[in-house]
Amino acid sequence: MHKNVESIFYMDYFSWNVQCKVISAGFFFYFGVFLISHLTSACLSLTYQHLLAKEKVFWDLAATRAVFGIQSTIAGLSALLIDPVINANNIAAQEDWSWFNILTATGFFIFENVALYGFSIAFRTFDLPLTVHHFFAVAGYTSLVFWDKSGHYLPMVTLLLEMSTPFTCISWMLLKANYAHSVLWKFNQWVMIHLFHCRIVLTYHLWWVSWSRWDQIEENYPVPVRVNFFTGLTLLTFIINPIWTHKKTLQLLKPVDWNFNTNPSDVNGKPSEKKS
């Protein structure tokens, strides 16, 4: 990374005080994004105004996840393609900018878990794949804070798996706005499906890097970190990614809101306005 960019992120990331502040900043930043999404959507979107309460919360969570997806994509691509230090030593190397992203991601995943369990309790729902995904995410990034000698290439590239999230958000919002048969929705769906296939390839890359540098992983990643990472990676590779890729492909052929089991013309039992 360029020196002027590094200076923005420069802090004593091994200080518990700094770590707690940055994690809290990540939590409250994304909580703020959630609130801003609610306020702006309530004022500007007719589609949002006609949604059920639980759909409004899901809308705001989708927007929040999309913003995090943008941050994660930039961080993941920086580690994968740009940063020479982390790319050269992808098991032990750390950078200030990668610490910043790990800590803010930890704050985001804490927010996500609070929101997920709050949503499940309030609306009496339960999404097992999403719950498992969030558990391993918050456990994994929190463990990197406690065992701070682990390298950052693997967690940064793991963040790149969020590259599909902004397109998932756009897909769902357009679906609720009754644009499921528009060229824009179909184009976004194609891009999203392609990115889900890229996620699958990316998990293979993570397995390859781990296998080819296993001796270094044993030296730099403690057992709890390894157990969490490879359990989560196994679930992503063989269960979660294939299920989500399959569902998104089916959704292209038959637009359905899988989250609330409605067709695209049904919002609160009424055809939604084609205005947003």
What is the model's pLDDT at position 90? 86
pTM (predicted TM-score): 0.90
Over residues 233-242, the mean pLDDT reads 93
Residue 5 has pLDDT above 60, yes or no: no
Residues in the chain: 276
CA 84 to chain CA centroid, nearest Å: 25
* Distance from C-alpha of 206 to C-alpha of 208, rounded to nearest angstrom: 5
Q: Quote the pLDDT of residue 273.
A: 41
Rounded distance, CA 125 to CA 52, Å?
A: 14
Residue pair 266/224 in contact (Cβ under 8 Å)? The answer is: no
* Token output for 19: 């770590």
Hey, what's the torsion of the CAs at 201, 67, 98, 239, to 10 degrees? Answer: -30
Could you tell me which residues come within 8 angstroms of residue 6 by beta carbon, excluding any fewer than 6 positions away? 95, 96, 97
Residue 137 pLDDT greater than 80, yes or no: yes
Per-residue DSSP letters for 192-254?
HHHHHHHHHHHHHHHHHHHHHTHHHHHHHS-HHHHHHHHHHHHHIIIIIHHHHHHHHHHHHHS
pLDDT of 263 reads: 64
Tell me which of 116-130, 240-254, 258-272 is least confident: 258-272
8 A C-beta contact, residue 248 and residue 218? no
Q: How many Å apart are CA 134 and CA 97, to the nearest integer?
A: 23
Mean pLDDT of 243-255: 92
CA–chain centroid gap for 124, Å, is 23
Say whether pLDDT at 271 is over 60: no
Angle at 59 between CA 110 and CA 61, to 5 degrees: 5
Q: Using one digit for the tens of pLDDT, what is the confidence trace for 46-94?
A: 999 999 999 999 999 999 999 999 999 999 999 999 999 998 888 999 9
Q: Where residue 128 falls among pLDDT bands split at 50, 70, 90?
A: confident
Q: pLDDT for 138-159, tens place per residue?
A: 999 999 998 888 999 999 999 9
Q: What was the pLDDT predicted at 267? A: 42
Distance CA 143, CA 76 (A): 19
Q: What is the 3-state secondary structure (H, E, C) of 89-154?
A: CCCCCCCHHHHHHHHHHHHHHHHHHHHHHHHHHHHCCCCHHHHHHHHHHHHHHHHHHHCCCCCCHH
Residue 264 has pLDDT above 80, yes or no: no
pLDDT band at 97 (very low <50, low <70, confident <90, very high): very high
